[in-house]
Chain A
Amino acid sequence: MTVPAPPTVPAPPSAVPRTTFWQRLRRDKVMLLLCLPGFLYFVVFHYVPLLGYMVAFQDYQPYLGYLHSAWTGLANFSAAFADPDFWSATGNTLTIALVQLILFFPVPIGLALLLNSIVSDKLRRFVQSVVYLPHFIGWVIIVSIFQQILGGAGVVPDLLESLGLPRYDMMTDPDAFPLLLALQVMWKDAGWGTIIILAALLSVDRGLYEAAAMDGAGRTRRFWHVTLPGLSPVLVLLLILNLGNILTVGFEQILLQRDAVGPGSGEVLDTYVYFHGIKDNQWGTAAAVGLVKAVIGTVLVIGANKFAHRLGHEGVYRGADR
């Protein structure tokens, strides 16, 4: 058993001038020890790797290590920027992100409105448990299932053929790749995405609906003038945060399907880094691209967070400010 904290220490410690740092350290030692494994994890696996970005400024040779590889200044960056593949990957990343945003973003909203309108509790819970489920299924499985349905020998091409139409394999069509990814994201996460929106709907004042109905507002008008304004803070926030993450499109999901459509439209920044660095041993260039992406991504996320708060929506997203 540990030594209990001395009972003389008052509860709000911030207001206690007489306890020294060492006394407080002694008092809090159990709590700090409990924090230690997690803290070490974050330092070792999130902060130490930042030092590894040295590689971006080196001609890194694994057998020489960080210390003995030659420094090359910004050569890796200019090499990356001169590589047409890098620009193609950037373009693909943005295209995929935008298509996903436009197609995926409204779906959880619609679904949440549908769920919200189910009066029967039992039925609503049933539908919810069904639509939440795919969130827990891994990408490998989801892509396999899509392959089974949309792929060359799958259900949809067979159906098209039986209707007298040409067989169409969406899984290998480079032009349809962003659409395919968006469809998969919808299947996996549209249901899960409703959770936040349902919570926002619950917080809309019931009285507003009644008052609007009294004033003769029909179903549609109530939607436009009560529901939508009630939802808008959350929607704006989600939109901004999505834009902050625009350079990060599903890495695992895309990696699984990049080969089927080819790098022309399947290469995104993350896969570019993976294939150039780890597959082709161009450590420096890959790390440089990774660094550029990480810096821009972080700036975007922080900016998005700031912007969301600037809009005056208090504390819906806690990531940065707590």
Chain B
Amino acid sequence: MEKPTRTGLVLKGLALVIVVGLVAYPLLGVIGTSFASQSDIIRSNGLVLWPDHPNLDAYRTAFTGGRVTRALFVSIGVTTLGTACSLLATIGMAYGLSRRGIVGGRFILMTALFTMLFNAGVIPNFLLVKELGLYNTFAALVLPTMVSAFNLVVMRAFFMNLPEELYDAAKVDGAGDFRTLIQVVLPLSKAVVAVVGLFYAVAYWNAYFNALLYLGDNDKWPLPMVLRTFILQGQALDSGAVGEAVAPQQAVQMAVLVIAVVPILLVYPFLQRYFTKGVLTGAVKG
């Protein structure tokens, strides 16, 4: 390859800075604003990158009244339990379908894959959840979206790519199918379990539509629903907070956003290196 031209380099550098900036600026601005004081916010037109007098008032206000705290616990609970259920079902099904010649395996696989092509839609799903007695229960946040055909394909492809000799060796050593899964396959599949687990966890963590549809009871709302009413619809967070040393409204809003993003930022660096592989096994033959 020949050396790139100087203008080419400069343009490329500029483009990179702009791209990174467009992503980073809003996120850093949200974090900065959550620590800002009223004067900071007025001076910098809304988003504060570097507060002059950083303080935790916004977080204190966000956690008084219990609404955010409760929603946070709901979100953590639903995400943890939901991800566990989703992973168990997906691993079982992917493993069960990973070997050729299983009786009815093709039928079961097609049943799952076919759901990638159609979507039953809001009304029938809503009626089903009501008929099953799941309305207003936390199970309604998990069960209707428990397994994704896409994640199933990713995991099955990974299991199928493990060397055949491993299965043979396990069989020779007298391990049954279940034992092979637990002691041979899963220890080798940490990467795919991590990626698929992350995809599920993120979906549960961010989901508000199921809550909007199936939870009549505000007390059961997960965090995104509280964000929606508090930030986008401008409802007060909690009447109990009036009269205390209240942080600026904007800072409190940003603090709640930060609370909702932090868990993702915490796991992201650990899982990031597996993404490409996971996505490509699912979508592209590689």
B112 in contact with A144 (CB, 8 Å)? no
Whether a CB of chain A sits under 8 angstroms from the CB of B20 is yes
B286 in contact with A155 (CB, 8 Å)? no
B120 in contact with A49 (CB, 8 Å)? yes
The distance in angstroms between the C-alpha atoms of A227 and B27, with both chains bound, is 34
Q: Out of A2, A134, A278, which one reaches B179, CB within 8 Å?
A: A2
Whether a CB of chain A sits under 8 angstroms from the CB of B215 is no
Q: Out of B105, B122, B205, B232, which one reaches A278, CB within 8 Å?
A: B122
A interface footprint on B117-140 (CB within 8 Å = 1, 0 otherwise): 111111111111010000000000
Shortest beta-carbon distance, A18 to chain B, in Å?
A: 14
The distance in angstroms between the C-alpha atoms of A234 and B283, with both chains bound, is 11
Q: Out of A2, A34, A195, A297, which one reaches B92, CB within 8 Å?
A: A34
Whether a CB of chain A sits under 8 angstroms from the CB of B224 is yes
Q: Which residues of B contact A103 (CB under 8 A)?
A: none
B261 in contact with A34 (CB, 8 Å)? no
Whether a CB of chain A sits under 8 angstroms from the CB of B243 is no
Contacts A32-B103, A130-B20, A195-B279 given; does A38 touch B209 at CB 8 Å: no
B209 in contact with A5 (CB, 8 Å)? no
Whether a CB of chain B sits under 8 angstroms from the CB of A99 is no
Whether a CB of chain B sits under 8 angstroms from the CB of A148 is yes
Q: Which residues of B contact A255 (CB under 8 A)?
A: 209, 212
Whether a CB of chain B sits under 8 angstroms from the CB of A133 is yes
Contacts A45-B125, A287-B124 given; does A145 touch B224 at CB 8 Å: no
Whether a CB of chain A sits under 8 angstroms from the CB of B194 is no
Whether a CB of chain A sits under 8 angstroms from the CB of B63 is no
A39 in contact with B280 (CB, 8 Å)? no
The distance in angstroms between the C-alpha atoms of A51 and B181, with both chains bound, is 36
B275 in contact with A132 (CB, 8 Å)? yes
Q: Which residues of B contact A305 (CB under 8 A)?
A: 117
Shortest beta-carbon distance, A209 to chain B, in Å?
A: 8
Q: Which residues of B contact A138 (CB under 8 A)?
A: 205-208, 224, 260
Q: Out of B12, B116, B145, B178, which one reaches A30, CB within 8 Å?
A: B178
The distance in angstroms between the C-alpha atoms of A278 and B127, with both chains bound, is 10
Whether a CB of chain B sits under 8 angstroms from the CB of A4 is yes
The distance in angstroms between the C-alpha atoms of A209 and B112, with both chains bound, is 42
B30 in contact with A145 (CB, 8 Å)? yes
Whether a CB of chain A sits under 8 angstroms from the CB of B144 is yes
B104 in contact with A32 (CB, 8 Å)? yes
B30 in contact with A148 (CB, 8 Å)? yes
The distance in angstroms between the C-alpha atoms of A283 and B112, with both chains bound, is 28
Q: Which residues of B contact A53 (CB under 8 A)?
A: 120-121, 124
Identify the closest chain A residue to B279 (Cβ): A195
Whether a CB of chain A sits under 8 angstroms from the CB of B101 is yes
Whether a CB of chain B sits under 8 angstroms from the CB of A74 is no
Q: Which residues of B contact A1 (CB under 8 A)?
A: 176, 179
Q: Which residues of B contact A45 (CB under 8 A)?
A: 120, 125, 128, 143-146
Q: Out of A123, A283, A297, which one reaches B119, CB within 8 Å?
A: A297
B143 in contact with A127 (CB, 8 Å)? no
Looking at B1, B20, B119, the one whose CB has the most chain A CB atoms below 10 A away is B119
Whether a CB of chain B sits under 8 angstroms from the CB of A64 is no
The distance in angstroms between the C-alpha atoms of A92 and B125, with both chains bound, is 24
Within A242-286, the residues touching B (CB, 8 Å) are 248, 251-252, 255-256, 270, 273-274, 277-278, 283, 286
B30 in contact with A143 (CB, 8 Å)? no
Looking at B89, B102, B120, B280, the one whose CB has the most chain A CB atoms below 10 A away is B120
Q: Out of A62, A139, A273, which one reaches B121, CB within 8 Å?
A: A273
B286 in contact with A199 (CB, 8 Å)? yes
Whether a CB of chain A sits under 8 angstroms from the CB of B257 is yes
Shortest beta-carbon distance, B14 to chain A, in Å?
A: 11
B178 in contact with A2 (CB, 8 Å)? yes
Q: Out of A3, A7, A149, A302, which one reaches B117, CB within 8 Å?
A: A302
Shortest beta-carbon distance, A307 to chain B, in Å?
A: 14
Whether a CB of chain B sits under 8 angstroms from the CB of A118 is yes
B interface footprint on A154-166 (CB within 8 Å = 1, 0 otherwise): 1100110000000
Shortest beta-carbon distance, A64 to chain B, in Å?
A: 13
Whether a CB of chain A sits under 8 angstroms from the CB of B23 is yes
Whether a CB of chain B sits under 8 angstroms from the CB of A43 is yes
The 3 closest A-B pairs by CB, nearest first: A138-B206, A52-B124, A38-B93
30 residue pairs from A and B, CB less than 8 Å apart: A2-B179, A14-B101, A28-B103, A30-B178, A31-B177, A36-B92, A38-B112, A45-B143, A49-B120, A49-B121, A49-B128, A52-B120, A52-B125, A62-B130, A117-B12, A123-B16, A130-B20, A138-B208, A141-B227, A141-B257, A145-B30, A148-B29, A149-B47, A213-B2, A278-B213, A283-B127, A290-B123, A301-B117, A305-B117, A316-B284
